[in-house]
Structure 1
Amino acid sequence: MFATPKTGENPNTQPLVAPDLIIHAERALIDGVLRPGSVHVTGGRITAITALDPAPDPAVPGITLPPSQVLLPGLVDTHVHVNEPGRTEWEGFDSATRAAARGGVTTLLDMPLNSIPVTTTVAALEEKLAAAIPQLRVDVGFWGGAVPENGADLRPLHEAGVFGFKAFLAPSGIDEFGHLTEPELNTVLAALAEDDALLIVHAESPAVLDAQPESVDGGYPEFLRSRPEEAERDAIRMVIEGLERTGGRAHILHLSAASALDQIRAAKAAGLRLSVETCPHYLGLSAEEVPAGGTEFKCCPPIRDAGNRAALWAALIDGTIDTIASDHSPSTIEQKRRGDGDFRVAWGGVSGLEVELPVVWTAAREFGMPLERVIRLLAEAPARLVGLSDVGSIAVGNRAHLIAFDPDAAFTVHAEHLAHRNKISAFDGRTLHGVVERVWLHGAELTEDSAPSGQVRRRG
């Protein structure tokens, strides 16, 4: 499909006959550096990267980005709850992938809950695929679930192409997806280690959560106290000790508690195969900003204080935290507003898929992280985590998933204009920096009127 370089030549400089499209950019993220370049696309793949042509041939299909725009790889979001089938009134593949495309996310991985059925068997995966395939506006892969009763289903799901397995160590919030006890966690880690499969973990300790005083007023300060940092630290301890016993692989989801970072650093230094993500809402928001009754901010683990937020940024900068993912977890507005602002009963989850890049980039400007590092955390690193070698970077042979991004443009978020199904957002009314101006999927530019053209991704 793409030109084969001669021995000793740099494949990124190979010219290609008759490309379908060339995108010329004064700034393109190539080999981790922003530099001028022309990216050649044929058959949906990047087939050459050449020096920027100051006078492109008008006979060759091409696009020249304005100097204000940067050519970047499409983002890879490994933590999205699409909820279809079964809870499509919360979200679905059409609305979720439309939101992803608007936000420059060209590959996403769907969580095994809160759909019905949950993705804990091959039959459930097939049901989800049947719902998804006709609607995909970006490429989509799937996680399997690890629950107490599906030990015999783990290997068949792995062979069917899921990218790994999601487990909760505390109640998930839905009856269909049970949480693992510590002995069950060790059993699952040992089973997955036989196939070198990845376990991704919602790490909160039920023992710590159960020990908290009973809530009395339903406000955010009380909700925050009910899910202390100790709950994350204790659950991460369980995962680390499980890795020591089994030699398996694990990824900590949506790290909120900065006080757990020393445990993670020590585990990595000891050679354990542990990685960790955090989320845009922990990086762009702080507890001090949550208004009374603002249940659109409720998530588990919770958004913590400004000092904690700064410590998470320091851990991103020093490399302790490996990836950023949205944890887009929508519900109906009625579920989010249940209890009229009572954090005890409102559904927990932040809908941020469409705005994750500007949320992170706006905060990154504050903390001094360059755009190149931001994109590594949102694209290249998550792609490598799950073994997707042909996305997440601009390189010859990769899928031509590209975005044109204006890092200096500013806009105000209006929840009613976002593409996800239920128009509620913790970012409503916030002014953010960074606008995704154009998106290409498999080399074709996406618009609001584009027909679904996303593909299913499978492990391996």
Structure 2
Amino acid sequence: MSLSQTAVIRSRRVVLPDGERPADVLVRDGRIARIAAHNSLAADGARLTDLGDTAVLPGLVDTHVHVNEPGRTGWEGFATATRAAAAGGVTTIVDMPLNSVPPTTTIAGLEAKRKAADGRAWVDVGFWGGAVPGNLSDLETLHRAGVFGFKSFLAPSGVDEFPHLEPAGLETVLAEVARLGALAVVHAEDPAALASAPHQPGPRYRDFLASRPAGAETAAVARLLAAARRTGARVHVLHVSSAAVLPLLRRARADGVEVTAETCPHYLALAAERVPDGGTAFKCCPPIRDQANREALWEALAAGEFTAVVSDHSPSTPDLKLLPERGGSGDFAAAWGGIASLQLGLPAVWTEARWRGHGLADVAGWMSEGPARLVGLGGRKGAVAVGHDADLVAFDPDCEFTVRAAELQHRNPVTPYEGHVLTGVVRRTWLRGRVVDVTGEPFGAQLVRPGAAAQPG
């Protein structure tokens, strides 16, 4: 379908901002032009797609994706990452500034990213900037160029070209972010707490878990919130794994601090008790914690304490994961930390959400509307609503499937969900009204900027 054509997408289960109901969705020129009662819109030359009981969701917005291109495209790249996104119902990603070479800490780094993505993406792409020691003068230029905000680490990032901020540097960066009216997104683990934790290399997951204690998160979040109070910066805590940080966030919000937080599918779907020794596909930082902690995260999510559930898709080559099944040592201390789950986030969350009594509208809020609002795309993305981009997902919420890593679209076939039975299958994804065919060629994905329409690459 060209963008000048019209289409009617019909389902008995359309997930709208005010809930789920039968409806017809009229798409014209890439936007949602009308939402009408089910079976009420005559096609009148438009292409009709009647999905029956297959649900229609807004395309997911994943604001935490490590694409790694340029520089580490052996780990991932825009072509493979965005195909995986489309196959998983994600229609917009925002790329993290590190693990690529160069990182997105200068305007030259941003332009290298844009050049790498141009014409090679199956879904819309935006970019975070990075705030690291020594690039304070670059932040305003990056902000004006359209990054969605600035990512920083409070502990070593794992790559030398993206060093972490010491306390004085954090204060300076947040003051500049506040001046710009931008958003600071922060990996919050405290280096002193990590250094003092026991470190026992080897394949036992409990040893790795002990090396990344919950106290490292709480100490770093406390430091971040204190700096946000002093500077007036708007801050967002990335990939919360420990429920122990939640009281700190509540108190800060009550005090008027502008702070939001996210968690990830792996913290909601997996638990430390079921991570096998040597199972380095499960390694991420901060780590997957125990079942009781997982349930506390679910309670906070249900209570509206998280703005978003996003993937933190952080892939690498299989050799870096030291997988025992591939001849690796299974040493958690030495393996690369990161989980590749961009294609699986929706079914992983839905599998857990449905038996806890949550509906598809809840999942759409956590994985589409919330992330879109976080990064300033709420007027165009994140909802099946008139005037929004016709980014839609046909989702069969009752179909089960077994995860096979070799069948996934991301570059390297590694996932902790291998062999897991998940519920919910993405049947079709539309980007601005056009079906995305991940076996074909990219056809018009665009680069997005905060608060603005998508722009040609």
1:351 aligned partner: 340
Contact 1:19 1:40 in 2 (8 A): no
1:103 to 88, 93, 106: 88
C-alpha separation between the residues in 2 aligned to 1:187 and 1:314? 35
C-alpha separation between the residues in 1 aligned to 2:333 and 2:43? 62
1:200 aligned partner: 185
Q: How big is the shift at 1:213?
A: 2.4
1:457 to 444, 448, 453: 448
Pairing 1:341–2:341 present: no
C-alpha separation between the residues in 1 aligned to 2:151 and 2:74? 23
After superposition, where does 1:78-227 map in structure 2 within 5 Å?
Answer: 78-227=63-212
C-alpha separation between the residues in 2 aligned to 1:137 and 1:386? 20
Describe the superposition over 1:66-123 as per-residue Cα deviations: whole angstroms up to 9, x where unpaired. 22x1111000000000000000000000000000000000000000010000000001
C-alpha separation between the residues in 1 aligned to 2:109 and 2:256? 35
C-alpha separation between the residues in 2 aligned to 1:310 and 1:281? 13
Pairing 1:367–2:356 present: yes
C-alpha separation between the residues in 2 aligned to 1:253 and 1:185? 15
DSSP-derived class of the 1:372 partner: helix
| Residues 57 and 386 of structure 1, relative CA distance in 2, 3 Å threshold | closer
DSSP-derived class of the 1:340 partner: coil
Letter in 1 for 2:105: T
C-alpha separation between the residues in 2 aligned to 1:394 and 1:288? 38
Describe the superposition over 1:394-439 as per-residue Cα deviations: whole angstroms up to 9, x where unpaired. 1111111001111111100000100000001000000000111111
2:23 to 37, 41, 44: 37
DSSP-derived class of the 2:266 partner: helix
1:443 aligned partner: 433
Q: Bigger shift: 95-104 or 443-452?
A: 443-452
Describe the superposition over 1:370-402 as per-residue Cα deviations: whole angstroms up to 9, x where unpaired. 221111000001000000020000111111100
C-alpha separation between the residues in 2 aligned to 1:39 and 1:394? 8
| Residues 151 and 403 of structure 1, relative CA distance in 2, 3 Å threshold | same
Contact 2:201 2:333 in 1 (8 A): no
Q: How big is the shift at 1:260?
A: 1.1
Q: Bigger shift: 21-30 or 97-106?
A: 21-30
Q: How big is the shift at 1:193?
A: 0.3
Q: How big is the shift at 1:31?
A: 2.4
Q: How big is the shift at 1:368?
A: 2.1
Letter in 2 for 1:317: A
1:249 aligned partner: 234
DSSP-derived class of the 1:313 partner: helix
Contact 2:240 2:261 in 1 (8 A): yes
DSSP-derived class of the 2:210 partner: helix
DSSP-derived class of the 2:339 partner: coil
1:6 aligned partner: none
1:394 aligned partner: 384
Q: How big is the shift at 1:243?
A: 1.0
Q: How big is the shift at 1:21?
A: 0.5
C-alpha separation between the residues in 2 aligned to 1:100 and 1:37? 26
Describe the superposition over 1:134-193 as per-residue Cα deviations: whole angstroms up to 9, x where unpaired. 201000000000001100000000000000000000000000000001111111000010
Q: How big is the shift at 1:36?
A: 1.4
1:323 aligned partner: 308
Q: What is the percentage of aligned positions where both structures have the same residue?
A: 52
Name stretches of at least 5 consecutive residues in structure 1 with no aligned partner: 1-17
2:10 aligned partner: 24
Q: How big is the shift at 1:54?
A: 5.4
Name stretches of at least 5 consecutive residues in structure 2 with no aligned partner: 452-457
DSSP-derived class of the 2:139 partner: helix
Describe the superposition over 1:172-230 as per-residue Cα deviations: whole angstroms up to 9, x where unpaired. 00000000011111110000101110000000000100111232444210100010000
Q: What TM-score, normalized to structure 1?
A: 0.94
1:281 aligned partner: 266
C-alpha separation between the residues in 1 aligned to 2:130 and 2:304? 28
C-alpha separation between the residues in 2 aligned to 1:216 and 1:121? 36
User: Structure 1: which 4+ aligned runs deviate by more than 4 Å?
Assistant: none
Alpha-carbon RMSD across the aligned residues, in angstroms, is 1.3
Q: How big is the shift at 1:256?
A: 0.3
| Residues 63 and 217 of structure 1, relative CA distance in 2, 3 Å threshold | closer
2:454 aligned partner: none
Q: Bigger shift: 31-40 or 87-96?
A: 31-40
Letter in 2 for 1:23: I
Q: Bigger shift: 50-59 or 443-452?
A: 50-59
C-alpha separation between the residues in 2 aligned to 1:108 and 1:290? 28
1:311 to 287, 293, 296: 296
C-alpha separation between the residues in 2 aligned to 1:80 and 1:66? 33
Letter in 2 for 1:291: P
C-alpha separation between the residues in 2 aligned to 1:217 and 1:390? 47
DSSP-derived class of the 2:180 partner: coil
Pairing 1:382–2:371 present: yes
| Residues 216 and 450 of structure 1, relative CA distance in 2, 3 Å threshold | closer
C-alpha separation between the residues in 1 aligned to 2:108 and 2:99? 16
C-alpha separation between the residues in 1 aligned to 2:74 and 2:267? 26
Q: Bigger shift: 47-56 or 269-278?
A: 47-56
Q: Bigger shift: 358-367 or 199-208?
A: 358-367
Contact 1:38 1:52 in 2 (8 A): yes
Letter in 2 for 1:238: R
1:8 aligned partner: none
Count of residues in correspondence between the two structures: 442
